[in-house]
């Protein structure tokens, strides 16, 4: 996307694993009726651990990706494409079966990590933030869901807190950089 020369960009694209994705997406965009909104759900956000990753992805969707959109479709792209953001709750709350950074955080830190990701997801989406989880139930009562599938204490409060801060135009109020770095170091030392 960052290659200014269209021919060089095309040659580089031919070597990528999803070479037909831009053409497919452009076809959808071209055929979309007025008023149709296409939302890039940004599934990559599942694994974000810093505000910068959220901001870079938003810029990628809203600006940089336009180099792959034919000039006649760019106004339509700007009018009908939105950036959404995904939250993979299992990733931030150490619910995945494989070890992730969150496995090396305390339960309180995991909730801060989740709140952080909710907050930055809200700040970097045009309208929608979506939550995904595999290993817990949001709807079943604890006795029906099973112990390992219950919603961890504090999750709803973290979600509400992030949303309130966002809606009130307040900053998150803390940085998780050091916390994440310490967890990464613990994970790395365990592997050695």
Q: What pTM was computed for the model?
A: 0.89
- What are the b/e assignments for 54-85, b being 16+ CB within 10 Å? beebbebbbeebbebbeeebeebbeebbebbb
Closest CA to 119 of 83, 153, 168, 73: 168
* Predicted pLDDT at 148: 67
* Predicted pLDDT at 146: 65
Question: Do the Cβ atoms of 80 and 69 come closer than 8 Å?
Answer: no
Question: Do the Cβ atoms of 69 and 50 come closer than 8 Å?
Answer: no
Helix axes 51-62, 107-123, angle to 10 degrees: 30
* Predicted pLDDT at 60: 93
Question: Per residue of the chain (192 residues), what is the pLDDT tens digit?
Answer: 777 788 888 888 888 888 888 899 999 999 999 999 999 999 999 999 999 999 999 999 999 999 999 999 999 999 999 999 999 999 999 999 899 999 999 999 999 999 999 999 999 999 999 999 888 777 776 666 666 677 788 999 999 999 999 999 999 999 999 999 999 999 999 877
Domain boundaries along the sequence of the chain: 33-191
Question: Residues near 12 by Cβ (< 8 Å), separated by ≥ 6?
Answer: 3
């Amino acid at each position: 996307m960052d290659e200014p020369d269209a021919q060089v960009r095309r040659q580089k694209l031919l070597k990528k694993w999803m070479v037909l994705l831009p053409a497919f997406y452009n076809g959808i965009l071209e055929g979309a009726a007025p008023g149709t909104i296409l939302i890039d759900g940004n599934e990559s956000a599942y694994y974000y651990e810093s505000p910068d990753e959220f901001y870079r992805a938003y810029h990628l969707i809203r600006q940089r990706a336009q180099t792959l959109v034919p000039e006649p479709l760019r106004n339509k792209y700007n009018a009908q494409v939105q950036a959404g953001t995904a939250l993979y709750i299992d990733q931030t709350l150490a619910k995945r079966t494989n070890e992730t950074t969150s496995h090396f955080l305390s339960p309180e830190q995991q909730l801060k990590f989740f709140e952080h990701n909710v907050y930055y997801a809200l700040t970097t989406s045009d309208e929608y933030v979506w939550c995904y989880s595999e290993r817990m139930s949001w709807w079943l009562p604890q006795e029906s869901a099973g112990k390992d599938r219950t919603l961890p204490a504090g999750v709803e409060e973290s979600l509400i807190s992030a949303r309130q801060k966002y809606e009130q135009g307040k900053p998150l109020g803390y940085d998780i950089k050091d916390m994440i770095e310490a967890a990464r170091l613990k994970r790395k030392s365990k592997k050695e």
